[in-house]
Structure formats: C-alpha cells, structure tokens
A and B are shown apart, each in its own frame.
Chain A
Amino acid sequence: MPDVHDRIVITNDTKFLGFVREFMSRMIRQSALSREDENKIILAVDEAVANIIEHAYENQREGTIEVECEADAKKFLVTIRDSGQKFSPDGIQTPDMDGHVKSKKKKGLGIYLMRLIMDEVRYTFREGIQNELVLVKYIGGKPKAPQA
C-alpha cells in the first residue's frame, strides 16, 4: 500500500500546467522526497505533460491527460496516461546546447530534462487504448543493479 497515492485528470490545454505543478508539489511534500528534489520533479512532470499537450492530440482535438502519483519510503512514481497518438521519447537525442543556440532552436529540451532528472523513464504504447509514461525517482538514490 503506497504512503501517497492520488491522481488528477486535465484536458490537453497548457492553461492547466499550473494545476499539474500544484498537484505535484502537494504529492512531493506528502512523500519522503527531499525539498531539494521538488522543483526538479515538478519540472520533469511539467515537461512530460507539456509534450503530450503539444504532440498527442492532432488538429487540436480535445483529449484528456491523467497524472497519477504513488510514493512509498523507497520510490516516487508518476504515471502519465493519454489517449492521443503514439509519441515515444525513446528516440529523442540528447541536445547539443551550443548547436541549439547557434541554430536558434527553441524546442526539444523537455524530454532531455525529464530523462536527466528522473531515475527511470518508461514509455508504453497500447494500440487504440493509450500512451503510458512512467517516471520514477528513487528516494535515497537508485538501487544498484543485481550482480550477474
């Protein structure tokens, strides 16, 4: 049974990003995560949701995005679900910031930040059902992989 568990559902409009950040702040403060991680994890989730708002629903079709948080003493887990088109963050390259500045490119940094901040980012696409993005932050550090 998780110590912290709640969810919100928003429509795909950037005006609701503030609502997502407030929800995340509440969840983080109820969890065992340190305050030092609060801004970064709010940022990672904001980036994930903003990305879905921008890419998932074609032709500005209205859709919903669910943000669910579960946390216990060892990990803080955020699951973000939408029913828009497939968009996997796996193929996005790490940006070269000097190149970004030289080419005056403004976008493509959100997924990089999300990966940088979280310990795990897992994406699943279920045809005709939904996209599911799972972001994990381990409390007290990422557990070591088992020895072979």
Chain B
Amino acid sequence: MAEFNIQTKKLTANIVFIGVQGFLDAHTFEEMEKTINDLFDGGTYRLVVDLSKLDYISSAGAGVFIGAIGTAQENDGNIVLMKPSPNVKEVFDLLGLSQIFPFANDIDGAQKLFA
C-alpha cells in the first residue's frame, strides 16, 4: 500500500502544484485540508492538484476539495484537478463533482484554466 504523501511546488508567483499520493480517506483527509488551508493563509488560491498517484478517495477526501473550492473562487482562484485515476474519477462522478471542478490533463492545461 502506497504511503500517503503530499508534495507542494510553486509553479508561478500565485499558482501552486499539489501532488498527492496514496489513499485520501477519513484517516488522511486532515493532512490534505491543512495543506490547502496553509496555502490559503499564505494568500495562494490557485491550486493544481495532481491526482495521478492517488490510489483511492472517499467522501472525506473529496470533502476537502468541496469545502475549499468556494474559498478559492471567492479569492480569484480555483482548484484544478489533474489526471485522476479511473477509480478516483468515478467517485467525483458519483458525487456529481465532475461538473463543479475543472479538470486538466497536464500542468500547462491546468495553468491555462487560470488565465
């Protein structure tokens, strides 16, 4: 089982890349929530979240993004989700979130969504 891991990297002055790996569930969601809240506290509201290495997401994990996208958008930002695996995308589809979140296939595509 892949260890849960979050990495952040500044793409531009106001866009941050978040790579998340492993299982985002009721056990790990608080770590994801803290990462996003820390970025918001630092004034960054444009986030690209790479889900390509995320093996699994439950409603607790999806809830982090649901709770945060409003704050991002209120501050001229957004949360762009990148390359979810079929299992992870299925959960977003089941929750009806695929119409709410912008999705991108790569970093360039994600950055264009902020233009």
Contacts and interface: CB of A to CB of B under 8 A. Distances in A.
A and B pair up:
yes
A50 B60 contact: yes
B109 interface: no
Contacts of B115: none
Given A17-B25, A43-B91, A113-B95, A101 B69 contact: yes
Interface residues of B, number: 26
Secondary structure type dominating chain A contacts: helix
B90 A97 contact: no
A28 to B, nearest CB: 13
B99 to A, nearest CB: 9
Contacts of A50: 25-26, 58, 60
B70 A104 contact: yes
A18 B95 contact: no
Nearest to A107: B63
A97 B23 contact: no
A127 interface: no
Given A97-B100, A98-B100, A100-B66, A109 B95 contact: yes
Interface in B67-81: 67-71
Contacts of A119: none
A21 B91 CA distance: 15
B96 interface: yes
Contacts of A112: 59, 95
B59 A109 contact: yes
B94 interface: yes
Nearest to A97: B96
Contact of B27 (A18, A101, A105): A18
Most chain B CB within a 10 A radius of its CB, from A17, A47, A104, A106: A106
Contacts of A79: none
Interface of A: 14-15, 17-18, 21-22, 39-40, 42-43, 46-47, 50, 53-54, 97-98, 100-102, 104-107, 109-110, 112-113, 116-117
30 contacts: A14-B27, A15-B27, A17-B26, A22-B1, A39-B87, A39-B91, A40-B90, A43-B58, A47-B59, A50-B25, A53-B26, A54-B26, A97-B95, A97-B97, A97-B100, A100-B66, A101-B66, A102-B70, A104-B67, A104-B68, A105-B67, A106-B63, A106-B64, A106-B66, A107-B59, A107-B63, A109-B59, A109-B62, A110-B58, A110-B60
